[in-house]
């Protein structure tokens, strides 16, 4: 466990290092009792970041707007938005946070009624808010559990976020659209190793490209091209960790004939080259027991 304590600040901070999960993945999470006027930013995130205020109060600044965040409420930071958040000088925050992403993440945030334009989360009741808080703190306090265990509780967090939200939206009108998106996702999962086009994916869903692109973005939170890229790079990262295939062989397995183009795409997504990624993430095979 990585834990620091400094003067009036207390902190628990953990990094989730398994990137094999597509529907939902965690990146980092923690808990903090802040000092007066503690602030973070301006900064832009690569993934969703959700804070829940356990005690105290503070403000979130994003897109020229300022939002008051009291205890019992939360706030969402969406990828690419430059934000600053600051603890109150008289009544500083105690909060917990999760950074996450994935197909189900976007859908759940939509159903919970929070977004980049509506970043403040308000629970239905104080008890409902405590349910969200408990799910988040469970993950923070069980950081040494297996990745599958933590991802399972990540799904429970998303469910509580939706069920406990005062701004919860109905999902009934999404069923037909989700059928088309599911067809597309299944096709990508089964064909990402070859050079497929957005037109081909749209045709499988029975939609024209323009309408398919809108439906897909509304459901997933990114374009079909971006999702296909991220899916391929997630599979490449898995191969880098779990096999000793060469970089060129892995590139070919995710539809890249040119190793240099693959390496550039991988670095754009993961921030480091495939070789650097393997040097820090390669899983050693278990040692054989002596007879």
pTM: 0.65
End-of-domain residue from the set 163, 189, 217: 163
| Residue 66, C-beta contacts closer than 8 angstroms, at least 6 positions apart | 59, 60
- Same domain for 135 and 210, yes or no, is no
- Same domain for 149 and 43, yes or no, is yes
169 occurs within a structural domain: no
User: Could you report the per-residue pLDDT of 10-46, keeping only the tens digit for each?
Assistant: 889 998 877 667 788 899 999 999 999 889 989 888 8
- Same domain for 10 and 140, yes or no, is yes
Q: To the nearest 10°, report the CA torsion of 255, 259, 260, 265.
A: 40
User: Could you report the per-residue pLDDT of 69-85, keeping only the tens digit for each?
Assistant: 999 999 999 988 899 99
As a whole number, mean pLDDT of residues 226-250 equals 93
- Same domain for 199 and 85, yes or no, is no
Distance CA 161, CA 108 (A): 8
- Same domain for 204 and 269, yes or no, is yes
> How many other C-beta atoms are found inside a 10 Å radius of the C-beta of residue 31?
20
- Same domain for 185 and 91, yes or no, is no
Residue among 274, 271, 268, 267 nearest 239 (CA): 274
48 occurs within a structural domain: yes
266 occurs within a structural domain: yes
288 occurs within a structural domain: no
Domain of residue 44, residue span: 3-163
As a whole number, mean pLDDT of residues 266-278 equals 92
Pick the residue with more confidence: 208 or 114? Answer: 114
Hunting for tokens 């398994």 — which residue is that?
A: 18
Task: Evaluate if residue 182 carries a pLDDT over 90.
Answer: no
As a whole number, mean pLDDT of residues 99-103 equals 87
CATH number of the domain where residue 56 is located = 2.60.120.10
End-of-domain residue from the set 132, 163, 194: 163
End-of-domain residue from the set 136, 163, 190: 163
- Same domain for 149 and 270, yes or no, is no
- Same domain for 96 and 189, yes or no, is no
Give the total number of structural domains in the chain.
2
Task: Evaluate if residue 224 carries a pLDDT over 50.
Answer: yes
Would you call 167 helix, strand, or coil by DSSP?
coil
CATH number of the domain where residue 247 is located = 1.10.10.60
Banded model confidence at residue 2, pLDDT cuts 50, 70, 90: very low
Q: What is the CA radius of gyration of the chain?
A: 21
273 occurs within a structural domain: yes
- Most confidently modeled range among 13-17, 62-66, 122-126, 165-169: 122-126
């Amino acid at each position: 466990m990585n834990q620091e304590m400094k003067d009036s600040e207390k902190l628990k901070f953990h990094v989730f290092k398994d990137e094999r999960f597509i529907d939902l993945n965690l990146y980092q999470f923690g808990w903090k009792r802040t000092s007066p006027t503690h602030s973070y930013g301006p900064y832009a995130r690569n993934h969703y970041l959700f804070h829940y205020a356990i005690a105290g109060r503070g403000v979130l600044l994003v897109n020229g707007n300022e939002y008051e965040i009291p205890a019992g409420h939360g706030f969402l930071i969406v990828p690419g938005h430059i934000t600053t958040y600051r603890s109150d000088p008289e009544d500083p925050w105690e909060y917990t946070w999760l950074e996450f992403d994935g197909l189900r993440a976007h859908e759940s945030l939509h159903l919970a009624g929070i977004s980049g334009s509506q970043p403040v989360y308000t629970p239905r009741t104080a008890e409902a808010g405590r349910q969200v808080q408990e799910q988040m703190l469970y993950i923070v306090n069980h950081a040494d559990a297996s990745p599958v265990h933590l991802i399972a509780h990540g799904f429970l967090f998303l469910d509580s976020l939706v069920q406990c939200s005062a701004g919860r939206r109905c999902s009934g009108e999404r069923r037909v659209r989700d059928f088309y998106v599911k067809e597309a996702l299944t096709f990508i999962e089964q064909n990402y190793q070859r050079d497929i086009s957005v037109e081909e994916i749209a045709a499988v869903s029975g939609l024209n490209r323009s309408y398919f692109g809108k439906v897909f973005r509304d459901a997933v939170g990114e374009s079909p091209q971006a999702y296909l890229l991220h899916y391929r790079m997630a599979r490449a990262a898995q191969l880098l960790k779990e096999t000793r295939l060469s970089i060129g062989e892995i590139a070919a397995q995710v539809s890249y004939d040119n190793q240099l183009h693959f390496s550039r795409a991988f670095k754009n997504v993961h921030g480091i080259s495939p070789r650097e990624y393997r040097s820090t993430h390669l899983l050693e095979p278990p040692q054989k027991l002596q007879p």
